[in-house]
A and B are shown apart, each in its own frame.
Chain A
Amino acid sequence: MNLFRVMEISGSALLAERMRAEVVSANLANAETTRVDGGGPFQRMHVVFGARPVAHPSFGMSLASFGDLHAENVRVVGLVGDETPPIQRFEPGHPDADTQGYVSYPAINPAEEMINLMGAARGYEMNASAITSIKNMIQSAITILG
């Protein structure tokens, strides 16, 4: 596996981390949303990362994937809804209150979402610096010929 190929893998990780950040931001923005189009409170979502083999690896890429190091991109393999039951709060005057006066709020913990967001940002930053270091290596290799 050569340096160009691994830049692709780092790039796929950048995309995955960004999607994660977007999903977490949507959770944060909707922490108090009691009514969505389909009825009921907003459902917390979270992403699942996984490795996906490259769809059509070239012969050279297969050859370069020696040992157990296969050419696999990092992908968001799933967007999963949280099954945690919504939080019930007693607010009889609320327009979305049920017959007993309880309102269902999304089971979103802002502190936890912030930590996830910071994790996504850190992951994004690390992959960006990996790409930079590989770019520097390739550039210095080009100088062999002067």
Chain B
Amino acid sequence: MSGVVIAETFRRHVTNIGFIAYLALLAILSLGVSVFNRPASVWPTLVTLLALITGSGAIGPEFSSGTLQLILVKPLTRASYLLSRVTGIVLAVWLAAAVCAVFELTGRALWSEGVPFLPIGAGLLNIMADTILAISLLALLGSITRAYFNVAIYVGVMATLWVTEVAVGFIRQSSSALGRLLANRKSVDLVLSAIDRNLFPEVLPAFDPKWLVLVLSNAAVALLLACLAFRGREVPYGAD
């Protein structure tokens, strides 16, 4: 991996005015809601959203903006560049997650009776793993599409899964032939939930090593596929 690319990607994100504003919002929210909610229950969702926003720019838009050509003639492999970009983005998102955790701890220290270090620590660890997976998937989708289609596909798949699960439930309750057929087919649920669990795992509130291994191994597979796709992809120069 390239330290230069990691540092530049990180710098570009954390100096972005939108990122700074979002970070300030997260900090205030983490501080404010710490009194009223379970530990690490509000900000992880917002950090995931940040991962989706920043991860969408991992590689896809570089194909369409024509910025890749200057990089690809430099002495680093495509895989190295992709992994470095992902690392830089992940670090920027982790910074946001760490800020949230620190502000929640501060809020609880100020206004609550006890400081729940362990649940907040577990929440932080889980969201850190979850953001690696989300950004890796976006990098994979970005390496086979262009512009911001990666995030469109990501959200599209997520929505389709949810709609399909709901639709299967409704159809099952009906007295139609399809409903009767699905009623005896538990494998449909298993497949849908396996896809959901692997691609969009729900961030757990407690430490669970099995869950961490699942998330991180899926991220590794996504990154491997992303590197392979990016290596074989042609990059016509000039904009699309």
Judge: A and B partners, yes or no.
no
Q: Which residues of B contact A (CB under 8 A)?
A: none
